[in-house]
Amino acid sequence: MWGRQGYGKAGDVEDGGAAQPLYPMMLERPELRWAFIRKVYSIVTVQVLLTVAVAAVVVNVRPVALFFVSSGAGLAIYILIILTPFIVLWPLYHYYQRHPVNFLLLGIYTVSLSFAVGLTCAFTSGKVILEAAILTSVVVVSLTLYTFWAARRGYDFSFLGPFLFGVLLVLLVFGFIQIFFPLGRISTMIYGVVVAIVFCGYIIYDTDNLIKRYSYDEYIWAAIQLYLDIINLFLALLRIFRAADN
């Protein structure tokens, strides 16, 4: 079978240094899957770096953040920024295979989310932001390495999907309720911990899908999923550290 060819080529340029399948019963050539994985992580890396750059501008240039919180026009623009990622998803769904339109839409999606992250961080102490960023990096790298290790040994995490989705719906409704009935500091920390645990699960689940299930033309969706997992984990940890700091 053609899918088994190339397993014995140790050190092949495109196989990521792997002479064995990424997971048991793998029928495709490992170098093809490794190329896809590298492409997705390259996109996610650019997204994260862009988010850091945009958020840093929003945090350090104080008039930008003050404009959004001190004027009606700023509030209207902020609402538009929040809605932009959801609006962009519709054309992205139709053009995710069309280059360079897909990357242009992905850039708009990322920048709008980056502004939202920057405004969240704008009135947070630098120590809290640094703590959340360091812990997010450690958790993401650790869970990614664990998922690759587990996939090689035959573990499957597809069962997490329905459970994580159900918990996420509950958290979204609970978060909406908080707008009208704000929680106390301890309750906010507990809520942040639960959200962080859920997105740790999503990192494992989406990484497992990246290794086994995404097709080669779905690199945009794979990158969006992982990027959202990282950003939401960071925001959850930021919530925890901010509540503890206060």
Query: Domain extents for the chain?
Result: 27-245
Asked if residues 47 and 111 have their Cβ atoms less than 8 Å apart, the reply is no
- The model carries a pTM of 0.87
Token digits of residue 86: 């959801």
Binned at pLDDT 50, 70 and 90, residue 3 comes out as very low
The confidence score (pLDDT) of residue 63 equals 85
Q: What percent of the chain stands above pLDDT 90?
A: 52
| Residues 52-71, mean pLDDT to the nearest whole number | 86
* pLDDT greater than 80 at residue 94: yes
- Cα(76)–Cα(74) distance, rounded to whole angstroms? 5
Helices 126-152, 185-212: axis angle to 10 degrees equals 40
Tell me which of 175 and 170 has the higher pLDDT.
170
Binned at pLDDT 50, 70 and 90, residue 12 comes out as very low
The confidence score (pLDDT) of residue 126 equals 86
In this structure, the number of other CB atoms found within 10 A of the CB of residue 190 comes to 14
The number of CA neighbours under 13 Å toward the Cβ of 197 is: 9
| Residues 80-107, mean pLDDT to the nearest whole number | 89
- Cα(157)–Cα(112) distance, rounded to whole angstroms? 31
| Residues 21-27, mean pLDDT to the nearest whole number | 79
Q: What percent of the chain stands above pLDDT 70?
A: 91
The confidence score (pLDDT) of residue 6 equals 36
Token digits of residue 1: 């079978």
In this structure, the number of other CB atoms found within 10 A of the CB of residue 64 comes to 16
* pLDDT greater than 90 at residue 78: no
Length of the chain in residues, anyone?
246
